[in-house]
Structure 1
Amino acid sequence: MFQKRCSAVLVWACVVFCLSASVAWGFEGKVVGVSDGDTIKVLDHGKMVKIRIYGVDAPEKKQAFGVKAREFTQSLVAGKIVRVEPQDTDRYGRIVGMVYTLDGRCLNEEIVKAGFAWVYNQYCKQDFCPDWRSFQASAKAGRMGLWADPEPMAPWDYRRGGKKLVASKTAPAGTYSGNVKSGVFHAPGCKYHDCKNCTISFPNRNAAVQAGYRPCGLCNP
């Protein structure tokens, strides 16, 4: 009986160790894709692995600044070798990890500093998370990245139903409108200003460009 109990304990210990090891190991690989501001694809021994960047939440692709956030992440790591240090796995089976460039920069931190993501307080529980919140506050004070918008919608609110609210509205007359599907923006008076997917408004041309939208070829705003 004692031997059986010991064997059971040993088996359980091995299971716990293996589960922990699957999260704790790190690896280096080439970034072969950037899905959005906080999700990248990395080759690990020839296998493509999706990495959800730990502790941050960037705007969704159809949100204002979603395109810009993706472009920023691309500018830092696309096609480059990075080191991934897994912290967890999410409900979609993706590795949630810290990502470092070979010159020592932390991608997670750089995104927050540049103003292209919120610190994801619900999940950011490490000792350095308060520092990240300070970086976020500095980016907000400097109106960097998405903080150029005086009332940006957090992506978790967007996913929880904010996108329905956005989709139910059209851009007010007198403002520039952005097509959340095509990423094109239109000037007031353009025939496409009130299109079905033109649900984001900008006070001026510069705001639309900063958010990552392209000018309409017809009205040439």
Structure 2
Amino acid sequence: MIRPALHAIIAAILAATALACSAATFAGEVVAVLDGDTVDVLVNRQTVRVRLAAIDAPEIRHGTRNPGQPFVQRSRQSLAGMVFHQNVIIDEEGTDQYGRAIGTIWEGNFNVNAEQVRRGMAWVYRHYSHDPKLLQMEQEARAERRGLWADPNHVPPWDYRHSR
């Protein structure tokens, strides 16, 4: 009788440990802003590429035949204005298929990911997030035609990627 209970306790401890290890918080200086949802952060003399969680910004140019999406530079500039050469904290949620850390970037108590959405510089990435606060920010940006929402022909990045 004690054995199954002991196994259950051990399994619960291992599961909790695995969850705790799958996410991390780290700090560093943003040394590059690649686009509206990707930055390079210098952490202990190592560069870590970070993809902002829960949002998707306009796609940047890839190759010579793909000019990129409208607002890609404004989105990048918006992000750079908040974090370039700033010390930030990243709440990492994991890594993506390209090896980038996925996380929320904090500049002080300021959620940079959410601010990109509020400014109309990124969409809520619905495949990965259903956060009601982010969705509300996006709806308000859309209603006020902020940023990319000023373009009547805006195309979400996930649709843009599939059309190439």
Q: TM-score, normalized by length of structure 2? A: 0.84
Could you tell me how far apart the structure 1 residues matched to 2:15 and 2:137 are?
Answer: 39
Contact 1:29-1:81 at 8 Å conserved across structures: yes
Could you tell me how far apart the structure 2 residues matched to 1:35 and 1:101 are?
Answer: 18
Indicate the residue corresponding to 2:111 in structure 1: 106
Shift of 1:45: 1.2
Is 2:72 aligned against 1:70? Answer: no
Range that drifts further, 138-147 or 20-29: 20-29
Could you tell me how far apart the structure 2 residues matched to 1:22 and 1:93 are?
Answer: 17
Larger-Rg structure:
1
Instruction: Quote the RMSD (CA, aligned, Å).
Output: 2.2
Higher RCO structure, 1 or 2 (CA under 8 Å, sep 6+) = 2
SS at 1:26 equivalent:
strand
> Equivalent of 1:153, from 152, 155, 159?
155
Could you tell me how far apart the structure 1 residues matched to 2:22 and 2:51 are?
Answer: 13
Aligned residues: 152
Shift of 1:80: 0.3
Indicate the residue corresponding to 2:102 in structure 1: 96
Q: Mind listing any 5+ residue stretches in structure 1 that lack a counterpart?
A: 1-5, 165-221
Indicate the residue corresponding to 1:203 in structure 2: none
Indicate the residue corresponding to 1:37 in structure 2: 36
Could you tell me how far apart the structure 2 residues matched to 1:100 and 1:77 are?
Answer: 9
CA offsets 1:47-105 (integer angstroms, 9 cap, x no match): 11011100000001211001110000000000000000011211112111011002x11
Aligned 1:166-177 pairs, distance under 5 A: none
Could you tell me how far apart the structure 2 residues matched to 1:15 and 1:130 are?
Answer: 28
Shift of 1:151: 2.0
- Percent of aligned pairs with the same residue? 37
Letter in structure 2 aligned against 1:114: R
